[in-house]
Amino acid sequence: METERKKALEETALKVRKDIVRMIGVAKGGHLLSSLSIVDLLVFLYWETMDISPDDPLRPDRDRFVLSKGHGCPALYAVLANRGYFDRDELWTYRRLGSMLQGHPQFPRTPGVDAPSGSLGMGLGIATGMALALQTDGKLSRVFAILGDGELQEGSVWESVMTASQWKLHNLVAIVDVNGIQMEGDVRGSKQMEPLANKFESFGWTAVPCDGHDMASIEDALDVSLSKVETPSVILAATIPGKGVSSAETGKLRPAEPMDRMTMEESLSELEERSEDKTDEAEAGEPDEKYP
Amino acid sequence: MKSTRDAFGEALMDLGHRKNDIVVLDADLASSTRTEMFLRHFKDRFFNVGVSEQDLVQVAAGMALCGKVPFACSFAAFLVTRAYDQIRTTVAMPGLPVKLVGTHGGITVGEDGITHQMTEDIGLMRSLPNMNVLVAADAEAARELTFLAAQIEGPVYLRLGREPVPALYAEGESCFEAGGGQLLKEGDGVTFCTCGIMVHEALRAAEILEKQGIRAEVIDCYSVKPLPRQLILSSLRRTGCCVVAEEHNIIGGLSEAIARLSATEFPVPMRFVAVNDKYGQSGTPRELQEYYGLTYREVVSATAQVWALRRRL
> What CA–CA distance (Å, rounded) separates B81 from B83?
6
> What CA–CA distance (Å, rounded) separates B198 from B295?
7
Domain B2-165 and domain B182-309, same fold? Reply is yes
> What CA–CA distance (Å, rounded) separates A166 from A160?
10
Are the C-beta atoms of residues A179 and A239 closer than 8 Å to each other?
A: yes
Residues in chain B within 8 Å Cβ distance of A155 = 54
Please provide the size of chain A in residues. 292
Residues in chain B within 8 Å Cβ distance of A134 = 66
Backbone angles phi, psi at A142, to 5 degrees: -115, 160
Class of B2-165 per CATH?
A: alpha beta
Residues in chain A within 8 Å Cβ distance of B20 = none
Which positions in chain A have a beta carbon within 8 angstroms of at least one beta carbon in chain B? 60, 64, 106-108, 114-119, 121-122, 124-134, 136-137, 155-156, 159-160, 162-163, 166-167
Chain A interface, best mutation among B66, B96, B128, B130, by max A CB count within 10 A: B66
Name the residue in chain B with its Cα closest to that of A157.
B55
pLDDT at position A289 is 46
Query: What average pLDDT does this structure show over B38-56?
Result: 98
Whole-Å CA distances, B63 to A212, B56, B69, B153: 29, 11, 8, 15
> What CA–CA distance (Å, rounded) separates B32 from A227?
40
What sign does the CA torsion over A67, A68, A69, A71 have?
Answer: positive
What sign does the CA torsion over A83, A267, A32, A107 have?
Answer: negative
Chain B interface, best mutation among A104, A156, A161, A165, by max B CB count within 10 A: A156
DSSP-derived 3-state class of residue A139:
coil
Angle in degrees, CA A89, A93, A94, rounded to 5: 115
A119, A125, A136: residue with CB nearest B55: A125
Query: What average pLDDT does this structure show over B196-204?
Result: 98
> What CA–CA distance (Å, rounded) separates B20 from B69?
9
Of A155, A150, A203, A137, residue with least CA distance to A177: A150
> What CA–CA distance (Å, rounded) separates A55 from B51?
41
> What CA–CA distance (Å, rounded) separates A52 from A38?
19
Would you identify the CATH topology of the domain B182-309?
A: Rossmann fold (3.40.50)
Name the residue in chain B with its Cα closest to that of A106.
B94
Backbone angles phi, psi at B279, to 5 degrees: -90, 160
H or E element: which one contains B156?
A: strand B156-159
Residues in chain A within 8 Å Cβ distance of B57 = 125
Whole-Å CA distances, B242 to B123, B202, B272: 20, 12, 9
CB contact under 8 A, B54 and A117: no
Give the helix ranges, DSSP H, for B109-180. 121-126, 139-151
CB contact under 8 A, A160 and B90: no
What sign does the CA torsion over B250, B252, B256, B257 have?
Answer: negative
Pairing of strands B132-135, B223-225: antiparallel
CB contact under 8 A, B90 and A122: yes
Q: Exposed (0-12), middle (13-18) or buried (19+): which is B248, by Cβ within 10 Å?
A: buried
Please give the interface size between A and B, counted as residue pairs whose CB atoms are below 8 Å apart.
109
Are the C-beta atoms of residues B43 and B52 closer than 8 Å to each other?
A: no
Whole-Å CA distances, B86 to A70, A123, A127, B57: 14, 10, 14, 6
For chain B, what are the domain ranges?
A: 2-165, 182-309
> What CA–CA distance (Å, rounded) separates B261 from B251?
15
- The complex scores an ipTM of 0.96
Q: Please give the DSSP secondary-structure letter assigned to residue A245.
A: -
The architecture that CATH gives domain A3-290 is 3-Layer(aba) Sandwich (3.40)
Are the C-beta atoms of residues B216 and B190 closer than 8 Å to each other?
A: yes
Query: What average pLDDT does this structure show over B234-260?
Result: 98
The C-alpha of B67 sits at a distance from chain A's nearest C-alpha, in angstroms, of 8
The C-alpha of B50 sits at a distance from chain A's nearest C-alpha, in angstroms, of 8
Position with higher pLDDT, B59 vs A277:
B59
DSSP B4-48: HHHHHHHHHHHHHHH-TTEEEEESS-HHHHTTHHHHHH-GGGEEE
> What CA–CA distance (Å, rounded) separates B21 from B231?
34
Chain B interface, best mutation among A132, A135, A161, by max B CB count within 10 A: A132
A132, A155, A159: residue with CB nearest B63: A132
The contacts of residue A98 (CB under 8 Å, 6+ apart) are none
pLDDT at position B80 is 98
pLDDT at position A287 is 56
The residues with which A236 forms a beta bridge, in sequence order, are A176, A209
Are the C-beta atoms of residues A108 and B41 closer than 8 Å to each other?
A: no
Are the C-beta atoms of residues A17 and A36 closer than 8 Å to each other?
A: yes
> What CA–CA distance (Å, rounded) separates A26 from A261?
8
> What CA–CA distance (Å, rounded) separates B261 from B137?
22
Give the helix ranges, DSSP H, for A114-260. 123-136, 155-166, 196-202, 215-227, 246-249
pLDDT at position A292 is 38
CB contact under 8 A, A118 and B44: no
Q: Is B53 a catalytic residue?
A: yes
Amino acid A218 reads I
Of A87, A73, A82, residue with least CA distance to A30: A73
The contacts of residue A48 (CB under 8 Å, 6+ apart) are A9, A219
- Mean pLDDT of all residues belonging to chain B: 98
Task: Kindly report each contact of residues B228-231 with a partner whose C-beta sits within 8 Å and lies 24 or more positions away, as own/partner.
Answer: B228/B179, B228/B180, B228/B181, B229/B179, B229/B261, B229/B265, B231/B180, B231/B181, B231/B183
Give the predicted TM-score (pTM) of the model.
0.96
CB contact under 8 A, B62 and A128: yes
Of A169, A171, A175, A161, residue with least CA distance to A218: A175
pLDDT at position A278 is 59
The contacts of residue B294 (CB under 8 Å, 6+ apart) are B107, B197, B198, B201, B245, B247, B273, B274, B275, B288
pLDDT in tens, chain A (292 residues): 899 999 999 999 999 999 999 999 999 999 999 999 999 999 999 999 999 999 999 999 999 999 999 999 999 999 999 999 999 999 999 999 999 999 999 999 999 999 999 999 999 999 999 999 999 999 999 999 999 999 999 999 999 999 999 999 999 999 999 999 999 899 999 999 999 999 999 999 999 999 999 999 999 999 999 999 999 999 999 999 999 999 899 888 887 788 888 999 999 999 999 887 655 554 555 555 444 3
> What CA–CA distance (Å, rounded) separates A272 from A277?
9
The C-alpha of A212 sits at a distance from chain B's nearest C-alpha, in angstroms, of 26
Single out the catalytic residue among B10, B53, B144, B177. Answer: B53
The C-alpha of A180 sits at a distance from chain B's nearest C-alpha, in angstroms, of 25
